[in-house]
Structure 1
């Protein structure tokens, strides 16, 4: 259970760091994300020694390239979503993305849905609308960012599930390659800002990127360890992670950052938690 708690804390901390850093005049999300991937790459290399012997022959490069592009793109959207919509709604939207791979398994792969799964979907979509609901008088109301975060993480989850099916390569070796590709892409973006657009980027962004990278990798590392600890009951990790992030993110957003939530938002969070509980129960009984 300790690994699961640590993974939840690391996941929410990434959002908290972006919320804090954004208040600084020198903030540059692209530089932070690039450094984040450099740190995650190094930690992944030393914590999970890669197996390069079969990489060139058997690696699913189209999946690697897609994830290498999507991960930094969605990370940038995550930063913008936290800016405009806050931690509470962003975390909730991110966790509701779990419905996308399940929907894909039904529409694309012909999986049969139980009554509980259908009910969970029935709760999940209104939950999302209620969570993203915000008074139109607020100029910062931009539900597009968390909606794209939800869609992006959902697609990423589908691609990672495909990576997990590639049994000829350890998952962590694939993760190392994906981090490397994401780093190359973000380094190109930052290089364009520095050398073409002549933007000055403060070195403090590198320090912030180190912090984000450590917690981002910690989220993945402890999540994998939690799955090892609960190898016979993965639904415990699945449900605990999603509910834990929504609850902890909501508490921090409301209590520390004083984010304003309406009754609709609270109802949406409750429905999201209920949908995850139903979905987990359905998974346990299949």
Structure 2
């Protein structure tokens, strides 16, 4: 349970960092690239066993790390496009509602329990995520369609589902840091290619603040993934339960941070959503 709690708290902390990116006009792509470099360095530095970099491509989890690394960067851009075209609230809802995908696969692939209480809890949690995330006023482009929200929904769900599948099938407990470091290394390479293409089109200095921002993001970003994987490896914790509590928990903590730190205004609908989220978590946990 401690790993799940840490995953929720650290993932919510990423929300604060991204908020300050906007305040200090950070170039997000450059910061993301540095963030992945920092995350993979930490992963390799904290490896639970001695290893050679040359052995990584031969590990059974390597293809999963490649897929996840590319998916991490791709979904980041889809999230940005969704926020720009459809509004931040739509991006938030699409990303968090994707919890239904790993929950479905948890039941389908791993024969996890399906009880009436769990179903009720998950349904309440989904309603809570929507109510807590949606804002009364949302900046929406006239050309906004459903393509990017659907891609964000599917991509976010694919990330959680793939992490669970690779963790169950291929990642031993003493390879968590190496696996995490490897997927962040792949993400760093992929984001570097995109950054290089952008730089060729428009040359500009990298900027010290973007490096600092990337370091500030990379440390918690690494541990958010590691703690999620370790939570998935905890005995007696079904992934359908874990992902529901994790996603809804992030919504609750992020909402509280928004109110206390950034003095954000929340409607009655948002407040009802947070209350329902707590109820949903309790029911799913009890189930």
TM over 0.5: yes
Report the equivalent of 2:32: 33
Match of 1:153 among 136, 156, 159: 156
Asked whether the 8 Å contact 1:30–1:76 carries over to 2, the reply is no
What SS does the aligned partner of 2:210 have?
helix
2:168 aligned with 1:165, yes or no? yes
Q: 1:156 to 1:224 in 2, by over 3 A?
A: closer
1:85 to 85, 88, 92: 88
Assess if the C-alpha contact under 8 Å between 1:50 and 1:176 holds in 2: no
RMSD: 3.6
Alignment partner, residue 192 of structure 1: 197
**Distance apart, 1:78 and its partner CA:** 5.1
In structure 1, the partner of 2:17 is 17
Point out where structure 1 has 5 or more consecutive residues left out of the alignment: none
Mapped pair 1:43 → 2:42: yes
Q: 2:222 aligns with which of 217, 221, 225?
A: 217
Say yes or no: does 1:251 pair with 2:251: no
The count of residues paired between Structure 1 and Structure 2 equals 275
* Kept in 1: contact 2:46–2:177 (CA 8 A): no
Contact 1:93 1:147 in 2 (8 A): yes
- The farther-off stretch of 173-182 and 37-46 is 173-182
- 1:130–1:7: structure 2 CA closer, same or farther, 3 Å change rule? closer
Instruction: Map 1:106-125; keep pairs closer than 5 Å.
Output: 106=107, 113-125=114-126
Return the offset for 1:46: 0.8
Conservation of the 8 A alpha-carbon contact between 2:163 and 2:229:
no
CA distance in 2, matches of 1:125, 1:268: 9
Contact 1:15 1:82 (8 Å CA) reproduced = no
- Distance of 1:227 and 1:107 partners within structure 2: 17
Q: Distance in 1 between matches of 2:145 and 2:50?
A: 40
SS of 1:67 mapped into structure 2 = helix
Is residue 102 of structure 2 the alignment partner of residue 101 of structure 1? yes
d(CA) in 1 for partners of 2:209 and 2:157? 32
1:72 counterpart residue number? 73
Q: What is aligned with 1:205? A: 210
Checking the alignment, whether the CA contact within 8 Å between 2:129 and 2:248 is kept in structure 1 is: no
Q: Return the match for 1:178 from 176, 180, 183.
A: 183
How many Å separate the matches in 2 of 1:259 and 1:197?
36
After superposition, the C-alpha distances for 1:60-106 in whole angstroms (9 at most, x for unaligned) are 444233211111223345567788537xx84x765554332112344
